[in-house]
A and B are shown apart, each in its own frame.
Chain A
Amino acid sequence: MHPCAICQRSRAQIVRPKNGQKICKACFLDVFESEIHTTIIENDIFPTRGERVAIGASGGKDSTVLASVLKTLNERYDYGVEFVLLSIDEGIHGYRDDSLETVKRNAVQYGMELSIVGYEELYGWTMDQVVDKVGRKGNCTYCGVFRRQALDRGAKRLEISHILTGHNADDVAETILMNFLRGDLPRLGRCAEIVTASSTSTMKRSKPLKYAYEKEIVLYAHHRQLDYFSTECVYSPEAFRGSARSLLKELEKVRPSSILDIVRSGEQLLYKDIGPSKKTPSVASGDPNQQSTRKQTQKQEGPRLQTVGSCKHCGYMSSQPICKACALVYSLNKSNALVEVLVTEEPS
C-alpha cells in the first residue's frame, strides 16, 4: 500500500497527472477544489459581488463538475455570486433530450435556476432537421455557430453578461494543438486565455477548469458520485479534434505533465506579442466557435480591431453585415445548402 503523500495516513488512490503525486481520496477532493479556488482568485473571475453568472451546462462531466465545485466554493469562500445553469437544446433526439434531463436533476441538486434556449425557437431549425437537410458532413459547423450565439442570447435574456464554460486543460491543449497545426496565429493565443471577451460580443466568457486535467475531473465526479451524462453526440465525428485528442492522450501516457505544458506554451504565444503577418494562413477554419480574423489581418499592420455592428437580419451583434448564424439559416431556407456556406465563411 502507498500512503498518501499529503496526509501520510490513508491509502493513496489517485496519481496526480500534473506531478505524479500519490494521494488519498479525501486529500484529492480537497486539493482539486482548492486549486480551482486559486485559479478563480488569481484570475479575478468574480470581480463583482452580487453578480449573476451563467454556467453553460450540458449535463456532461465537465459542466457538472464545474457547477458542483462552484457551489461548494461559493459557499466555502463566499464569492457572493449567484449561479444560473444555462443549457442549449440543439434539438438532437436521443442525445440532448436525455442530457437535458441530467441538467434538470443538477438544477435541483445544486439549487440553481435553470434556463434552456432551443435552436428551434432561435433559428427555426433543430439540429435533427439541419442534418436531414445538409447530411452528416459539415453539420457540426452549423451547431457550433448556433451554439455560440445561443449561449449569448440565453445569457442576455437572463440579463447576465458573464458565462462560465467547463473547458478543461485537455480541451484547451487540444485546441492549442489544432490551431498550431492549422497555423492559425490569432486563435492560438486567444484559445489559451482564461477570460475572453470576443470582439463580436460584450459577453465575458471564463474557463475556471482551464488548469484541471480531464482525468481529475472524471475522478472527482466519480468520487463525489456526481450525476452526469456521457453519451457522445449522435452526429459528432469532429475528425480533426479527434486526431488532436488521440495525440494528446498518447502524449499524456508518456509524460502526463505534457498537457499543462502545452497550455502554458499556448499562453506564451500571444498574437499581440508575435504581431500579425501580411502573409496570412490560407487554411479553411474548422472551428466555428470563434470569429475568423483573416480579413482584419490583411488590412492592418497593428493589432486587429474589429468593428462591431449589428446583423441586418436579427439585430444581433456582428462584425459582418449579416451574422454567421443568419447566413447559415438563410442557406438552409434556400434549397442549396452547405458547401457554398463553408466556402464563403467570410462574406466580403
Chain B
Amino acid sequence: MAAGTIPITVELSGGLEILFNNVRKFDVELPATTADGSASNIDYLVKFLCDNKMTDPRRELFELNNTVRPGILVLINEADWELEGEGEYKLQPKDQILFISTLHGG
C-alpha cells in the first residue's frame, strides 16, 4: 500500500453501478487525508469516487450537497451509516463500503 493511503473496498448496487461503467466492486487506495489535512471520511470518499472512478457525467446522481444523494443507502462494514456517524465517519483500512440506490423502479 502506498504511503498516506487507506485501502478500502467499494461496492455499488441497486443501479448505481451504471454510473461506474457497470463495475460493481473495486478496491480503492484512498488518500488518508484531504487537501485541508483532515482525516478522510465518507463525504470525501464520495467526492473522490466522483473525481476518479465515475464514468457517467451525471455526478448529481451520486453526490448532492457534498455528500451522498438522499435515497442512496450507505453500509459501512454491513452496518447502516447512521450508526457510524454518516458522512463524518473516518475510514479505516480494509473497510467495506457499500452504496445501494433505492431510487430505481420496483
Contact = CB atoms under 8 A, between A and B. Distances in A.
Given A12-B79, A15-B83, A215 B70 contact: no
A90 to B, nearest CB: 12
A329 B70 CA distance: 39
Contacts of B93: none
B82 A233 contact: no
Q: How large is the interface on A (under 10, 10 to 19, 20 to 34, 35 or more residues)?
A: 35 or more
A82 interface: no
A233 B105 contact: yes
B57 to A, nearest CB: 16
Nearest to A223: B78
Interface stretch (A35-43, A109-117, A244-252): A244-252
Contact of B106 (A2, A25, A60, A245): A60
Contacts of B14: 61, 218, 230
Interface in A233-250: 233, 236, 245-246, 249-250
Contacts of A252: 70
Contacts of A214: 102
A273 to B, nearest CB: 30
B83 A2 contact: yes
A167 B80 CA distance: 23
B55 to A, nearest CB: 16
Interface in B90-106: 98, 100-106
Interface in A56-77: 58, 60-63
User: Could you say which of A11, A14, A15, A218 has the most chain B C-beta atoms within 10 Å of its C-beta?
Assistant: A218
Nearest to B16: A230
A219 B73 contact: yes
B31 interface: no
A253 interface: yes
Nearest to A167: B106
A249 B70 CA distance: 6
Nearest to A25: B78
B83 A13 contact: yes
Contact of A11 (B79, B82, B104): B79
Interface of B: 13-15, 18, 70-71, 73, 75, 78-80, 82-83, 98, 100-106
Given A13-B83, A245-B71, 8 more contacts: A11-B79, A58-B106, A170-B102, A215-B73, A218-B14, A222-B98, A230-B13, A231-B18
12 contacts: A11-B79, A60-B106, A63-B106, A166-B106, A167-B106, A170-B102, A218-B102, A219-B73, A222-B13, A230-B15, A232-B15, A252-B70
